[in-house]
Amino acid sequence: MRCPTCGVETGDTSALCVVCGSYVVTRPSVAADEVAGSQGSRAGGGNSRRDFRKAFGFGFTLLVIIIGIIAGGLRSSSHSSSSHQSSSHQLSYTQLSPGDCLEGSNLGLGTDSPWPAQVTGVPCTHRHLAEVFFSDNIWSQSLAYPGSIVIANQGYARCLSAFRAYDGIAQSASAFSIAYTAPDAATWPTGDRQVICVAYQADPVTASGVSPVDYSIRGSHR
């Protein structure tokens, strides 16, 4: 084999010229299609990784959004619940409904004092003196005023049946007493037909005559 640089014959086994030291056999070249294939492979690999990152990024972003929505909903729910649980509000006679828990020194429970124009409603998990377990109209508008005794008897009977349905046991077996309001001769002509029944735990030792509780009697069987 002849050296391409100095022209000296070097034999077939030597890759270098023994005279000038040049390569006798040229280094193999990489074919253009192999280079293109290699570049295509690297490019393809890059696209694959980039697509994966995009897909992963989209999935991760979606996951973050979902988590954010859930967390926001939980915060909103928690805030709403906390706000409700910590709030007190004024209620008029006509606004009272079953499940309202009441506090205040003006309730006059166990006395002949008239029902106040407004009472304070609180969450039943707060200390309170009474709980409304019935509030509804029980006489028709067309009925003539039947008299105070009939009104008292029918109103009280409705409270007794409503207490059993609300608490779960008869009032006579319960630790709670009943107070109620009903129409009288003055309010009947205005269309008043509403009976409101409240339960409270009587305690003659206390100044108010009532022992406060911090739970609802609904379904409590107490």
Mean pLDDT, the chain, rounded, equals 74
Percent of the chain topping pLDDT 90: 50
Model confidence at 19, pLDDT cuts 50, 70, 90, reads: low
Q: What value does the mean pLDDT take over residues 120-148? A: 97
pLDDT of residue 60: 34
**Whether residue 28 has pLDDT greater than 90:** no
Model confidence at 122, pLDDT cuts 50, 70, 90, reads: very high
In whole angstroms, give the CA distance from residue 116 to residue 100: 15
Q: What value does the mean pLDDT take over residues 103-113? A: 85
**Whether residue 203 has pLDDT greater than 90:** yes
- Residue that is written with structure tokens 């000296």 in the block: 8
Q: Which of 11-20, 31-40, 107-116, 119-128 has the highest mean pLDDT?
A: 119-128
**Whether residue 43 has pLDDT greater than 50:** no
- Look at 219 and 85; give whichever has higher pLDDT: 219
- Look at 26 and 193; give whichever has higher pLDDT: 193
Task: Give the chain as a 3 state SS string.
Answer: CECCCCCCECCCCCCECCCCCCECCCCCCCCHHHHHHHHHHHHHHHHHHHHHHHHHHHHHHHHHHHHHHHHHHHHHHHHHHHHHHHCCEEEEHHHCCCCCEEECCCCCCCCCCCCCCEEEEECCCCCECEEEEEEEECCCCCCCCCCHHHHHHHHHHHHHHHHHHHHCCCHHHCCCEEEEECCCCCCHHHCCCEEEEEEECECCCCCCCECCECCCCCCCCC
Q: What value does the mean pLDDT take over residues 31-52? A: 35
Terminal Cα-to-Cα distance of the chain (whole angstroms): 114
- Look at 22 and 45; give whichever has higher pLDDT: 22
- Look at 3 and 168; give whichever has higher pLDDT: 168
pLDDT of residue 113: 82
Confidence (pTM): 0.61
Spell 171-206 as b/e; 16+ CB within 10 A means b: beebebbbbbbbbeeeebeeebbbbbbbbbbeeeee
